[in-house]
Amino acid sequence: MPNRKAVAPVLTVVETACSNCNLHELCLPLGMSTEEVEKLDELVSSRRRVKRGEHLYRAGDAFDSIFAVRSGFFKTDVLLEDGREQVTGFQMTGELLGLDGISNEQHSCNAIALEDSEVCTIPFSHLENLSREIQTLQHHFHQVMSREIVRDHGVMMLLGTMRAEERLAAFLLNLSQRFTARGYSPAEFYLRMTREEIGSYLGLKLETVSRAFSRFQEEGHIAVQQKHVRILNIAGLKKLMSQHTRD
């Protein structure tokens, strides 16, 4: 029985339904009645597969939908004319993509799959229509947007006031916490992104990231081999974040 890599995406429609999606907690439908969630099902018009390395959307693309990650892993980035890249975030299962596009009907960053992924497409005008009917949905959506702003402030803090090792520690702890929230091990995970992408996100060069990893390993905070990370001493990493002063 051959186990082919690329299975034809035939039956996807069947399971496309918020009402029986196991991402309730992480995605939009939170605290809504069953009835209301069923309305959402109409909202999520389709699913879409994005293969590793492919763009979900590009800066400049017309905006009409936001996306919820059903499975997989994404990065978003902004490119400067001179080629400089800033990774603005990594998105995993249950997280939303595309909120930046609302502001002027046009995406302002690129979203790229770091592994074969699948997203739910949520036409934005439908979402606005529905959220005029369902107060819970409206409020939850506002919270999601606000949370994104708060998250960005955290990154600004990281980039503005932390030194290299603090940044990486904060990054690993954040990943750990998000994996935990999804039922995965808090202490052991595979990084889907390269050192360069981590570096771009953290405002560091890949060599600096690599050195920080090595240092953490020497000091027994983590065991790392390429993309596989095991956190041995969470407390140690946390302490790392609050001892230096820089800037």
Partner DNA sequence: CGCGCTGTTGAAACTTGTCAAAGTTTGTGG
Partner DNA sequence: CCACAAACTTTGACAAGTTTCAACAGCGCG
Contacts with DNA, residue ranges (CB under 7 A)? 163-165, 191, 194-196, 203-211, 213-214, 224-227, 245-247
- The count of other CB atoms within 10 Å of the CB of residue 154 is 12
Q: Which does 117 bind (CB under 5 to 8 A by kind): a second copy, DNA, none?
A: none
Between 10 and 80, name the residue whose CB sits nearer to DNA. Answer: 80
Residues 53-82 that bind a second copy (CB under 8 A): 78, 80-82
Residue 236 binds: one of a second copy, DNA, none (C-beta under 5 to 8 A by kind): none
Least distance to DNA from the beta carbon of 14, Å? 29
142 binds a second copy (CB under 8 A): yes
Distance CA 68, CA 92 (A): 9
| 158: Cβ contacts below 8 Å, ≥ 6 apart | 166, 167, 170, 171, 202
Tokens (6 digits) for 127: 């979402």
Give the interface with a second copy as residue ranges (CB under 8 A).
78, 80-82, 84-86, 88, 99-104, 108-109, 128, 131-133, 135, 138-139, 142-150, 152-157, 159-161, 199-205, 242, 245, 247
